[in-house]
Structure 1
Amino acid sequence: MPYFTQVGHVPRKRHVAFRQPDGSLYWEELIGEDGFVGDTSLLYHRNPPSALTAIETVETADEGLHANQPLSPIHLTPHSLPIKGDAVLDRVLLLSNDDVRISYAVATEDSSLYKNSTGDELAYVESGSGALESTFGRIDIVEGDYVIVPTSTIHRWTVRGDEELRLLFVEARGHIDPPKRYLSERGQFIEGTPYCELDIRRPTELLDVSGSDVPVIVRTRTGLTRNVHKHHPFDVVGWHGGMYPWSFSIHDFEPITGSLHQPPPMHQILEAPGFVMCNFVPRLLDYNPNAVPIPPFHSNVDSDEVLFYAKGQAKTRQGTGVGLGSITVHPAGFIHGPHPGNVERALGAARADEYQVMIDTHRPLQLSAALKDCVDPEYPFTWANLEEGARKVPSDA
């Protein structure tokens, strides 16, 4: 984020002697993007942050990535996956390419401490509540929240009560930011954008945790490593800068509508190298008297389109088995659109009642081995199978 923030106890100047009550120095940690010419933050630790007592390889299962060949549209049902536990170690990879990894987790316990050193991460909270705890402090999270964690931030996911915390993870190979067209030259959200600074939540409460021999899982480009820290990484007494975790709610997104159908870029929320993210929320539908208030058939020739059906009704997919918690993948090269009968049903509708999260990738996605446990083999043929019944749907249905 480009907004300067200060939390806790910090010195008057950067890189000066800053002393603890016993006279010893606080340990300054500089974390920065783009070779320290991008956003940076300075954190002040009670103990040296790089003091390690052990380094170990974390063995992981083969993810079984393979091409979507023969090229097919896909319907996934992540709720059917037999997963529970830790949002870090027990998340399941579904889709991946060189720019992005899309995973799903059902957290039933607080996660391991974790640092992704390959890029920023986003988590969408499908259901449940808890918190993101990090070296920067705590952000409470609830259903509908997007949570962006900058690369190399040590953090963990905590679960509130006995409720499951269901998370859709989007792991970038770069930085996840608001679209450039939403921002002024100095980084302020301009007028007319569908969300702004007032919707963004940042860490405000430091954790300042003590402890010793603390394991941290680190993702690198070669796999997972376990670093055991001599001191707890959350021993931070203050920080300042423009690089930190942040969150906002899908419920605060202000949809842009029109008299005729608006394309997906009107619903964009974020961008990153190799992909963009949009969401679709409850809104007024197209209000031209002759409008067809539903997307036409389309070929996005440069992108694979991933849709997560988070809440509400998927009007374009009625009769297909797509429902809450479903994920569809419509790859580049596949013409897709409303299923038969749904255009007629949509005519005259005044509002959409849906919450959907979309990831459009610029490179083809590979499929993981986990798909065998949650893929609907009949989905590619639903347009043909529903066609005959659609011929009998009257236009005023």
Structure 2
Amino acid sequence: MIRRMSFPQRKGISSRQAHADLPGEGRYEREVSREGFFGPATHIHHKHAPTGWTRWEGDLKPRAYNLLALPIAPTSPWQAPLMLSNAHCKIRIWRCEQSMSSLVRNADGDDLLFIHKGCGELFCDYGHLHVKEGDYLLIPRSCLWRFEIIEPMTVLMIEATNEYYGLPDKGLVGQHAIFDPAILDSPEINETFIQQQDENPWQVEVKRSGGCSIIEYPYNPLDAVGWHGEVSVVRLNWRDIRPLMSHRYHLPPSAHTTFLTRRFVVCTFVPRPMESDPGALKVPFYHSNDDFDEIIFYHAGTFFSRDHIEPGMLTFHPCGFTHGPHPKAYKTGLKAAKKETDEVAVMIDTRDGMNIADGMPSVEWQGYVNSWQET
């Protein structure tokens, strides 16, 4: 096992505390971190904003996409457009406007579904569960499931390919912080579930290694009468998340980790009070997060570190360059004009580089790379 070199040092003009009391007017802090925001870090103080580029060439650049402009997929989630992917994570957006006529099963890994719009009924191996806007649904690998649509649904799908999801270690704040695990809901074997059981022919679409196979049954295979154990579908709504806060220190995104695998983490940004200490940063700090790619899906509200970003959009910041707040947002933060945030967003940080799917350039905001330039 390799032990990282780690020995804190201090050179030149620097602050005594990260993200607070920056040394002098017109200084910009940049965090250089390893292991996402979980490992050792250095904070460098610059004369100019680290995002002050004026020209960019090549494919490595920040990108933004309007996902709602992508084509509507059929009722099968496996035909939903693939947006970003690597060997351990696949991200899709699925717009499901009709109830599913067949069952599906993902033999490639766990699925984490985030309901951006709409509502419906989930039927799965474990029973019945009502789902609505703002819900996370964690569906274990090879679980049978389908949706009955009440209002057309737009769903962000995050596949943990050959992986499984777990909960973060909450350390000093204890297991009940952020959200109490007791608040996680699971499906019920109720009358609604029993009534959907029939003896009619059903098909199951099984996804494996990117391809689909069809299994036919002369009856509905969602015919459970009960179950016990530790593996199940679970539901968590963002409204049940109580974010960690510090009035004197801007907490890193890792403080908002909701689910994680061995190769990526999923964080949820929800409304919270702004930092009130005069010396504390009020916006995300500039950072060179050089072990991870960063993807953010914007669900609701105004993302306080970005300009011209609307709900339903997605940004992609591959590792290899410094990123951070837009100039207008940074200046607003210095003025401490806002007392609280109203954003809701899902962030995925992946240890392995993400590949952009072929269909994404058609919905890309081509000017996003220039949006950090001062006007």
TM range (shorter): 0.7 to 0.9
- Which residue in the other structure is 1:200 paired with? 184
- Which residue in the other structure is 2:137 paired with? 147
1:128 to 100, 112, 118: 118
**1:342 and 2:329 matched:** yes
| Alpha-carbon distance in structure 2 between the residues aligned to 1:257 and 1:183 | 15
Give the AA of the match of 1:275: F
2:108 to 86, 96, 118: 118
Give the AA of the match of 1:130: G
Give the AA of the match of 1:295: P
| Alpha-carbon distance in structure 2 between the residues aligned to 1:192 and 1:270 | 15
Give the AA of the match of 1:256: L
- Which residue in the other structure is 2:302 paired with? 313
Q: Is the 8 A contact 1:76 1:375 kept in 2?
A: yes
Gaps of 5+ in 2: 1-56
Distance 1:122 1:69, change over 3 A: farther
Q: Per-residue CA shift, 1:284-316, capped at 9, x if unaligned? A: 111212222101111111110000110000121
Gaps of 5+ in 1: 1-67, 390-397
**1:327 and 2:314 matched:** yes
Give the AA of the match of 1:288: D
Shift of 1:204: 1.4
- Which residue in the other structure is 1:46 paired with? none
What SS is found at the alignment partner of 2:254? helix
Q: Is the 8 A contact 2:78 2:207 kept in 1?
A: no
Give the AA of the match of 1:153: C
- Which residue in the other structure is 2:155 paired with? 167
2:223 to 235, 238, 263: 235
**1:284 and 2:273 matched:** yes
The 5-angstrom pairing of residues 364-375 of structure 1 reads 364-375=353-364
Give the AA of the match of 1:219: K
Shift of 1:155: 0.4
Q: Is the 8 A contact 1:138 1:204 kept in 2?
A: yes
2:243 to 239, 255, 262: 255
| Alpha-carbon distance in structure 2 between the residues aligned to 1:118 and 1:267 | 27
Structure 1: which 4+ aligned runs deviate by more than 6 Å? none
Q: Is the 8 A contact 1:199 1:249 kept in 2?
A: no
Q: Is the 8 A contact 2:241 2:270 kept in 1?
A: yes
TM-score (norm 2): 0.79
Percent identity between matched residues is 29
Q: Per-residue CA shift, 1:78-123, capped at 9, x if unaligned? A: 1111215415144111000000100001110112310001110011
Shift of 1:196: 1.2
What SS is found at the alignment partner of 1:194? coil
What SS is found at the alignment partner of 1:236? coil
| Alpha-carbon distance in structure 2 between the residues aligned to 1:218 and 1:190 | 39
| Alpha-carbon distance in structure 2 between the residues aligned to 1:341 and 1:238 | 55
- Which residue in the other structure is 2:206 paired with? 218
C-alpha RMSD of the superposition: 1.9
Give the AA of the match of 1:119: G
Q: Per-residue CA shift, 1:358-382, capped at 9, x if unaligned? A: 0000100001112022111111121
| Alpha-carbon distance in structure 2 between the residues aligned to 1:226 and 1:84 | 19
Between stretches 342-351 and 97-106, larger displacement belongs to 342-351
Corresponding pairs, count:
310
**1:92 and 2:81 matched:** yes
Q: Per-residue CA shift, 1:321-380, capped at 9, x if unaligned? A: 321111000111121111112111123122111001000001000011120221111111
| Alpha-carbon distance in structure 1 between the residues aligned to 2:166 and 2:78 | 26
2:369 to 377, 380, 390: 380
| Alpha-carbon distance in structure 1 between the residues aligned to 2:289 and 2:219 | 50
| Alpha-carbon distance in structure 1 between the residues aligned to 2:58 and 2:228 | 48
- Which residue in the other structure is 1:354 paired with? 343
| Alpha-carbon distance in structure 1 between the residues aligned to 2:167 and 2:223 | 30
Q: Is the 8 A contact 1:339 1:383 kept in 2?
A: yes
Distance 1:250 1:239, change over 3 A: same
Shift of 1:205: 2.8
| Alpha-carbon distance in structure 2 between the residues aligned to 1:171 and 1:375 | 22
Shift of 1:211: 2.4
Shift of 1:158: 2.0
TM-score (norm 1): 0.75
Q: Per-residue CA shift, 1:22-70, capped at 9, x if unaligned? A: xxxxxxxxxxxxxxxxxxxxxxxxxxxxxxxxxxxxxxxxxxxxxx962
